[in-house]
Structure 1
Amino acid sequence: MRIGLKVKVETLRGTLEGVPNLLRLFERHEIQATFLFSLGPDNTGRALRRIFRPGFFAKGRLASVVSYYGIRTLLNGTLLPSPDIGRRGARILREVRAAGHEVGIQSYDHVRWQDLVARRDRAWTRAELTLASEAFQRIFEEPARVHGAAGWQLNDFVPALEAELGIQYASDTRGRHPFVPVVAGATRACPQMPTTLPTLDELMNQPEIRDHELHQVLYQCSRELAPSAHVFALHAELEGMRLQPVLERLLIMWQSAGDELVSLRDIAAGLDLTRLPRHRIAWGELPGRAGRLALQGAATGEEGAR
Structure 2
Amino acid sequence: MLLALRIEVDSLAAARDITPRLLGLLRDHDAKASFFFAMGPDRSGRTGGPLFEVGESRQQIRLNRQLNGPRGAARWYGSLIPAPELVKHAADAIRAVRDAGFETGLRGWDRVNWIKCIAGAEASWVRGELEAACHAYEAVLGEAPHAIALPGWRVNRAALRLEQQLGLHYASDTRGKHPFLPVIEGEPVRVLQLPTTLPTLSELIGAGNRDGTAAVDDLLAMTERIPLTGHVFTIQAHGDGGKRLPLLQRLLAGWREQGLELASLQRLSEILDPAKLPWHTVELRAWPGHGGLLALQGEAFPG
Matched, 1:16 2:6: no
Gaps of 5+ in 1: none
Aligned counterparts of 1:204 and 1:287: Cα–Cα separation in 2 = 13
Query: What do the CA deviations read for 1:273-304 (whole angstroms, capped 9, x no partner)?
Result: 354110111122333333321100010149xx
Question: Counterparts in 2 of 1:6-85, with a 5 A limit?
Answer: 6-50=6-50, 55=55, 58-59=58-59, 61=61, 64-68=64-68, 69-85=70-86
Q: 1:230 to 1:63 in 2, by over 3 A?
A: closer
Partner of 2:116: 115
Identity over aligned residues, as a percent? 34
Partner of 2:184: 183
Q: 1:177 to 1:150 in 2, by over 3 A?
A: same
Question: Counterparts in 2 of 1:150-299, with a 5 A limit?
Answer: 150-184=151-185, 186=187, 188-273=189-274, 275-299=276-300
Q: 1:249 to 1:58 in 2, by over 3 A?
A: farther
1:94 Cα deviation from its structure 2 partner: 0.6
Q: 1:78 to 1:143 in 2, by over 3 A?
A: same
1:210 Cα deviation from its structure 2 partner: 2.3
Matched, 1:86 2:84: no
Query: What do the CA deviations read for 1:99-144 (whole angstroms, capped 9, x no partner)?
Result: 1111000111100111111211111111111111111000001010
Q: Report if aligned partners of 1:176, 1:226 keep a CA contact under 8 Å in 2.
A: no
Q: 1:279 to 1:108 in 2, by over 3 A?
A: same
Aligned counterparts of 2:267 and 2:36: Cα–Cα separation in 1 = 15
Query: What do the CA deviations read for 1:31-55 (whole angstroms, capped 9, x no partner)?
Result: 1100000000001211212389683
Aligned counterparts of 2:186 and 2:299: Cα–Cα separation in 1 = 18
Q: Report if aligned partners of 1:41, 1:83 keep a CA contact under 8 Å in 2.
A: yes
Gaps of 5+ in 2: none
Q: 1:115 to 1:230 in 2, by over 3 A?
A: same
Aligned counterparts of 2:142 and 2:10: Cα–Cα separation in 1 = 21
- Secondary structure of the residue that 1:30 maps to in structure 2? coil
Letter in 2 for 1:48: G
Q: 1:58 to 1:20 in 2, by over 3 A?
A: farther
1:63 Cα deviation from its structure 2 partner: 6.7
Q: Report if aligned partners of 1:205, 1:288 keep a CA contact under 8 Å in 2.
A: no
Letter in 1 for 2:249: E
**TM-score, normalised by the number of residues in structure 1:** 0.92
Aligned counterparts of 1:80 and 1:109: Cα–Cα separation in 2 = 16
1:205 Cα deviation from its structure 2 partner: 4.1
1:59 Cα deviation from its structure 2 partner: 2.7
Matched, 1:3 2:10: no
Aligned counterparts of 1:210 and 1:140: Cα–Cα separation in 2 = 39
Task: Please report the RMSD computed on the Cα atoms of aligned residues, expressed in angstroms.
Answer: 2.1
- Secondary structure of the residue that 2:42 maps to in structure 1? coil
Question: Counterparts in 2 of 1:131-146, with a 5 A limit?
Answer: 131-146=132-147
